[in-house]
């Protein structure tokens, strides 16, 4: 009940007189996705981080299949790819430097529930989604995710259903950096952002109807059945993301969504 009330608070704090996208998503994922892809003229990613848990930024790059890009350009290019060819193409704003992100006080928490994360978001986010503007709030935290029954120490990030709030667990990201492959934590961090915001936008079959069936058939939720797509169901956990990073660093592309996921967005 408390979590429901917090999620409803997102509704009442919507922009102006326009209907809150959070409200629409809680009631009907399809209607929310329709707002994102047909009426939203602006998509903004707002980033905050607990002091000491800052994301990789400021001059950090990734080399993927021979192409070197600034780190946060990875997320921007993936979001841009989803809207190619659509009649309404929003302006997309992704912060590139740490100075454009918001530092939060040390929270001192070993684990975070969805309720905890939503409370933090309510305290510190500035943008509010509406039918014409979409604001994601991404926060980098110490500790691990608790799903309400137990801590999940290998979960790198979560997208909180019914909201535009995403959390990345920096301690788990750091644990992917074992060995000499220093690119892995940076890749894992960006891949997790692309994955979780993909969920929030409606992938896979979570608001965005599938043009061709590609949802995992084994009951793993709103995930792709292609292991080389960032939306594959195993690409939320630490170990499998390490393997995905190693494979995609050579064989992949800066755009991590596969063609079927892109087609879902482009043909909606």
pLDDT per residue over 73-105, tens digit each? 999 999 999 999 998 899 999 999 999 999 999
pLDDT at position 151 is 97
pLDDT per residue over 230-245, tens digit each? 999 887 678 888 889 9
Model confidence band, residue 181 (pLDDT cutoffs 50, 70, 90): low
Q: What is the mean pLDDT of residues 241-263?
A: 93
pLDDT per residue over 105-154, tens digit each? 999 999 999 999 999 999 999 998 888 999 999 999 999 999 999 999 99
The span from the CA of 54 to the CA of 178, in Å, is: 19
Spatial contact of 169 and 107, defined as CB atoms under 8 Å apart: no
pTM above 0.85, yes or no: yes
**Per this entry, what is the length of the chain?**
268
C-alpha distances out from residue 38 to 43, 127, 206, Å: 12, 20, 16
Q: What are phi and psi of 42, to 5 degrees?
A: -145, 135
CA dihedral angle for residue 36, residue 64, residue 48, residue 33, rounded to 10 degrees: 10
The architecture CATH gives domain 2-266 = 3-Layer(aba) Sandwich (3.40)
Q: What is the mean pLDDT of residues 178-191?
A: 82
Model confidence band, residue 179 (pLDDT cutoffs 50, 70, 90): low
The span from the CA of 241 to the CA of 190, in Å, is: 11
pLDDT cut 70: percent of the chain above it = 88
pLDDT at position 166 is 97
Instruction: Check whether 217 has a pLDDT greater than 80.
Output: yes
Enclosing H/E stretch for 64: strand 61-64
Instruction: Check whether 187 has a pLDDT greater than 80.
Output: yes
What would you measure as the largest C-alpha separation in the chain, in angstroms? 53
pLDDT at position 52 is 97
pLDDT at position 2 is 35
Q: What is the mean pLDDT of residues 57-61?
A: 93
Q: What is the mean pLDDT of residues 38-54?
A: 96
Instruction: Check whether 41 has a pLDDT greater than 90.
Output: yes
pLDDT per residue over 191-216, tens digit each? 999 999 999 999 999 999 999 999 99
Spatial contact of 200 and 129, defined as CB atoms under 8 Å apart: no
Mean pLDDT over the full length of the chain: 86
**What are the domain boundaries of the chain?**
2-266
């Amino acid at each position: 009940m408390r979590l429901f009330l917090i999620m409803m608070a997102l509704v009442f704090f919507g922009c102006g007189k326009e209907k809150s996208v959070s409200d629409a998503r809680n009631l009907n994922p399809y209607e929310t996705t329709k707002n994102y892809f047909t009426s939203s003229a602006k998509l903004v990613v707002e980033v905050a981080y607990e002091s000491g848990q800052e994301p990789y930024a400021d001059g950090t790059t990734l080399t993927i299949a021979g192409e070197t890009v600034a780190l946060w350009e990875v997320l921007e290019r993936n979001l841009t790819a989803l809207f190619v060819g659509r009649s309404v193409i929003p302006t997309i704003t992704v912060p590139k430097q740490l100075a454009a992100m918001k530092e939060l006080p040390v929270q001192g928490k070993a684990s975070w529930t969805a309720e905890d994360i939503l409370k933090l978001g309510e305290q510190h986010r500035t943008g509010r989604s509406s039918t014409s503007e979409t604001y994601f709030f991404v926060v980098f935290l110490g500790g691990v995710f608790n799903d309400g029954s137990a801590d999940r120490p290998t979960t790198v990030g979560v997208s909180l259903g019914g909201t535009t709030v995403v959390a990345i667990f920096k301690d788990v990201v750091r644990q992917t950096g074992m060995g000499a492959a220093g690119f892995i934590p940076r890749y894992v961090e960006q891949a997790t952002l692309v994955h979780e915001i993909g969920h929030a936008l409606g992938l896979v079959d979570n608001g965005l109807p599938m043009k061709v069936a590609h949802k995992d058939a084994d009951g793993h939720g709103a995930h792709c059945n292609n292991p080389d797509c960032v939306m594959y169901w195993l690409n939320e956990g630490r170990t499998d993301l390490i393997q995905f990073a190693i494979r995609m660093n050579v064989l992949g592309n800066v755009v991590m969504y596969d063609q079927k996921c892109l087609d879902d967005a482009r043909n909606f």
